[in-house]
Structure 1
């Protein structure tokens, strides 16, 4: 397949991807109105789509395949690294929200969201099990 056909395909995919990268661009332009995790995730999205656009331009220029592979690999690695960082920010923000909601543990440590989720899940399991046991033991009228 020629470089031009691949370049046109890549350009069309990048043009159709505007439903992802335009909202991400707005999230970045909003600045501090958006949480840090959202802005970092938007950066990851724009890095990925920017890599695709760069590949389309390089395909139009008919550069060697090794250069295309190097560009794609570098862009994918950068987008993945920024995405991991966004998840880390999101996890920290969620923990901060739970700490603010619950006011922290009695010993002054912040409460972790995972512990609270497990506590809710286990208490719900106990209530459901007890309710099922009562329903099974009580004879029907």
Structure 2
């Protein structure tokens, strides 16, 4: 978590008791992180509309399924013959970092921070790139705004 990156920062969580899909916050603060997020439960307690809560659950389920697929892909043994190398290749820092991630205990914020770090390790986007492009109509007929008509996507490096 952030406590690993910021000296003097400590991670704590509120103790909870779960009964089915119900959560009761026990008014006790405990040291360390937790492997669960209760943001949707807090939103329900705060009176967020049911349709918003349901959509949040759908998104969370999709994210959890995606994380499980990544975990399985990273942990799965390779099938088929492997390429033999004359010289040992140096380890890929991004791949090594990815293998060490504990996806079961990673919070959404930690996942975003890890993805940013992996992208930087892999030589991806640098600071200042990837800002949203201005949308709208071109100024003069025949002119194109930045990014229009280039076939580029938001995820292009």
Q: Same fold (TM over 0.5)?
A: no
Q: Which has the higher contact order (CA 8 A, sep 6+)?
A: 1
Structure-1-length-normalised TM-score: 0.32
Q: Which has the higher helix share?
A: 1
Structure-2-length-normalised TM-score: 0.29
Which protein is bigger by CA-based radius of gyration? 1
